[in-house]
Structure 1
């Protein structure tokens, strides 16, 4: 029996490794598919409401148009913000290089040998190239978005038919469990994105005001970047904090002012991300912070920036499906935070 149990465990591990390898190798297929399912969960209530008094295809056109407008607004904020920063970097590259050289000399005079290897590899053109590379990736986002919206269009047309197939007697009891899980996932994801969007807008506005008050150049660009990157947990706020700090070094030529900028931005991110968001989310999205961090970094390793964004929604879906399975409910309990039963009861109540 022990050998049999060990064999099953090895089999599960091997299957999991193969699945992850498939997801990594086939990311050009799976990433658009997962994103399309996420978008469908977000916009289906709008599509369903419009279908009550509009033809189905016309309702689909309105829903897709509204979705595209929202995505373009967020994408434009990132593109515009990094574009402005790239221009500023190109015009002020000499200032960065001079300041870095001074700091390197100071560190070497105080016996910090790490400054030497860094100086050998550092070139201010790298920072310019990195910023321009981010803008270039945003341009490549267009092809990815087209594929996602094609899948979304096809998926929205099939939602009702798919639910009917799940309700068929021949699909029971699994069909009923999948329908319940899908409904709960959609409800939790919509609540997650509503709270995330509110926090992102608030973060962008507060960062903009703080940058203006501190006299930091490109205040509007920093606010736009903070707004858009806040949709990526942990990694996004980190980037939105470090970039203005580096620019403060070049602008003010003072490490004290850079520290003030760094502390101020981190206080903003902490208050909104660690206090306000959990307060607004409530118990319905109670997830272990460790599980959230692991999910963001794990999926960013598998799928890059797209994985960092979609990591938490994938975790939410995983927890819900585990909760719906008697054999997997213990996993949902470990990954959640607080009363799991109450969390799912609240989501079901809101959906009804």
Structure 2
């Protein structure tokens, strides 16, 4: 009995060390693993389309070219928005510098702040150059990562079905009902989550866009796109998507009441869609504990930054599916813990 207890403790600590080592490797080699994970999720998203094309006797190579065309158009659109956004901000900078001076003259004394110091820091040309330099550097890194994602996608997309066949053949002599269920569950649940999330994010972005238009907020296209993207990050994303245009509105019109009114309307919409509409449509498809969702956001955000926060939920859903109904008591316990 004592020996079994000691063995259990040893297994627990070895597992913890193993997890830490794996996370360290994922963080250190993120330039390899992150594009691979993104490419895998692209494969899952395009799987229904490819299944349909396959039923029409269209080769997977042609389907892959079609998939790549769609991905390329989406990425080109995103890069175009980033570039045009940087140009708009640069053009509007002198105007907002003057507006900031007016707002600061009115409210700065309340917080005992000196205008020269704050304004000099925010609108310092060196700081702005560093920001735009960082944006440019990030954009170039993003573009280089895109090529790696597309490279991985080609091989994953063309070889995915063959890998599944080999795995099924390997375990065909065993009780493979659980394996079969996992193979079906991972694509089905991730596809359902991503497609539903895209619909929910589009709906949110459209309604927020209408509110932005009514309030005549500057950079409306930027905020709509940002709202759509940030809605993929649970909890934190929707908060940021409200705060940024609210601050812009405050500077634009020098009106606290208008900024607060916008924040109220936008927050109400975010809450209605996030707490009522989304659960009705999505249900509990992934079956993840809300506390564990927060924990996974922090972990994957630390490992892979913003991209990790976008991928946190799908990654944890895959892990949950893989360890559910495991013969290991430890994995079964973890599965129940995160459910």
> Which of the five TM-score ranges fits, normalised by the shorter chain?
0.7 to 0.9
2:29 maps to 1:26: yes
* CA–CA separation in structure 2 for the residues paired with 1:78 and 1:293: 28
| Length-normalised TM-score, structure 1 | 0.83
* CA–CA separation in structure 2 for the residues paired with 1:135 and 1:276: 37
* CA–CA separation in structure 2 for the residues paired with 1:90 and 1:178: 61
* CA–CA separation in structure 2 for the residues paired with 1:26 and 1:175: 33
The 5 A counterparts of 1:138-157 are 138-157=139-158
| Superposition CA RMSD, Å | 2.9
Partner of 1:123: 122
Deviation at 1:200, TM superposition (A): 1.4
Equivalent residue in structure 1 for 2:62, among 58, 63, 70: 58
Secondary structure at the aligned position of 1:304 is classed as helix
Secondary structure at the aligned position of 2:48 is classed as helix
Equivalent residue in structure 2 for 1:16, among 19, 36, 43: 19
* CA–CA separation in structure 1 for the residues paired with 2:123 and 2:173: 62
2:289 maps to 1:288: yes
The 5 A counterparts of 1:46-125 are 46-52=49-55, 53-74=57-78, 76-77=80-81, 80-81=84-85, 83-100=87-104, 102-108=106-112, 119=118, 122-125=121-124
Secondary structure at the aligned position of 1:309 is classed as helix
Q: Structure 1: give runs of 5+ residues left out of the alignment.
A: 110-114, 337-352
Secondary structure at the aligned position of 1:233 is classed as coil
Partner of 1:346: none
Partner of 2:315: 314
> Would you say the 8 A contact 1:245–1:258 is kept in 2?
yes
* CA–CA separation in structure 1 for the residues paired with 2:234 and 2:183: 23
More displaced stretch, 248-257 vs 97-106: 97-106
* CA–CA separation in structure 2 for the residues paired with 1:83 and 1:272: 32
1:274-303 deviation per Cα after TM superposition (whole angstroms, max 9, x unaligned)? 221111101323322222222122211110
* CA–CA separation in structure 1 for the residues paired with 2:200 and 2:92: 28
Q: 1:8 to 1:240 in 2, by over 3 A?
A: same
The 5 A counterparts of 1:240-279 are 240-279=241-280
Q: 1:139 to 1:238 in 2, by over 3 A?
A: farther
* CA–CA separation in structure 2 for the residues paired with 1:289 and 1:72: 34
> Would you say the 8 A contact 1:82–1:135 is kept in 2?
no
Give the count of matched residue pairs: 330
Q: 1:121 to 1:95 in 2, by over 3 A?
A: closer
Q: 1:257 to 1:129 in 2, by over 3 A?
A: farther
